[in-house]
């Protein structure tokens, strides 16, 4: 699995971060997310690994999930305990993170030590109220793009359990650390996940940043709010994995 590894200078903490980039399952790479990866590496004090998972439409579901699982398996095979691995992602990468978590639980494997979700895209039905409520305030994402992305990625598999994290049993999961912009079109996905996870007894932190748009931490190095969110998220992932 081709993988970009971004690490801060000096000795690394013993945990690792597996990062799944966003881009609607169609675009994006470690290059598009390099500032975010660097910010997260500094905040966690360890290496952030971003696999180049296969993209739709050439490689529809479950290709991306299979690749994310292969990256996870490679870390485990390298001797890293599951509790010392954090899995994180933004937008579609946040959805992919939850899909991976559900697959690991379904197969009876040890779960990650921590989960980070930045503006996660979790509801592929594209019916959330925020898609219209925040269309004029989201500077990053146009909702008209989403249905085609769903068709290209999920195709006939939209009912697969791994693509329905908001309908899953969210009890017994690792701590979830969620970041979303209050003015983004996918904020309802984050709101719903946080509400249901808390009701299920899963530890959750939630930064619902006022005035911010979709996946604003991708602007690390250019936006103070992005840098601050990544620091907070990285420290939370580190604390969970080193507990």
Let me know the angle formed at the C-alpha of 116 by 37 and 149, rounded to the nearest 5 degrees: 80
Contact, 115 vs 101, CB < 8 A? Answer: yes
Q: Which DSSP letter does residue 157 get?
A: G
Catalytic residue annotation: 91, 184, 214
208 strand-pairing partners: 180
Q: Which two tokens stand for residue 117?
A: 């979700």
- Under DSSP, is residue 185 helix (H, G, I), strand (E, B) or coil? coil
Burial of 23 (0-12, 13-18, 19+ CB in 10 A): middle
Per 3-state DSSP, the chain is made up of helix, strand and coil in percentages (nearest 5) of 40, 15, 45
In the block, residue with structure tokens 């180049």: 52
Here the tokens at position 177 are: 């650390």
Q: CA torsion 22→27→30→36, rounded to 10°?
A: -40
Query: Distance between CA 51 and CA 146 in Å, rounded?
Result: 23
């Amino acid at each position: 699995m081709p993988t970009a590894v971004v690490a801060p200078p000096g000795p690394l903490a013993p945990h690792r971060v597996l990062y799944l980039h966003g881009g609607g399952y169609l675009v994006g790479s470690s290059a598009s997310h390099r500032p975010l990866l660097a910010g997260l590496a500094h905040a966690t004090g360890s290496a952030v690994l971003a696999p180049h998972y296969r993209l739709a439409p050439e490689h529809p579901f479950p290709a991306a999930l299979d690749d994310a699982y292969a990256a996870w398996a490679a870390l485990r095979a390298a001797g890293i305990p599951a509790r010392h691995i954090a899995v994180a992602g933004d937008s579609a990468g946040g959805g992919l993170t939850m899909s991976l978590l559900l697959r690991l639980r379904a197969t009876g494997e040890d779960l990650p030590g921590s989960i980070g979700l930045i503006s996660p895209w979790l509801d592929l039905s594209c019916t959330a109220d925020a898609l219209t409520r925040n269309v004029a305030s989201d500077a990053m994402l146009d909702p008209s793009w989403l249905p085609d992305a769903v068709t290209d990625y999920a195709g006939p598999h939209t009912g697969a359990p791994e693509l329905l994290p908001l309908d899953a049993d969210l009890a017994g999961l690792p701590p979830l650390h969620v970041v979303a912009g209050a003015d983004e079109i996918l904020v309802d996905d984050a709101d719903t996940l946080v509400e249901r996870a808390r009701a299920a007894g899963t530890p959750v932190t939630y930064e619902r940043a006022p005035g911010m748009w979709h996946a604003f931490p991708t602007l690390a190095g250019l936006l103070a709010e992005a840098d601050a969110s990544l620091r907070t998220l990285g420290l939370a992932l580190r604390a969970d994995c080193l507990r």
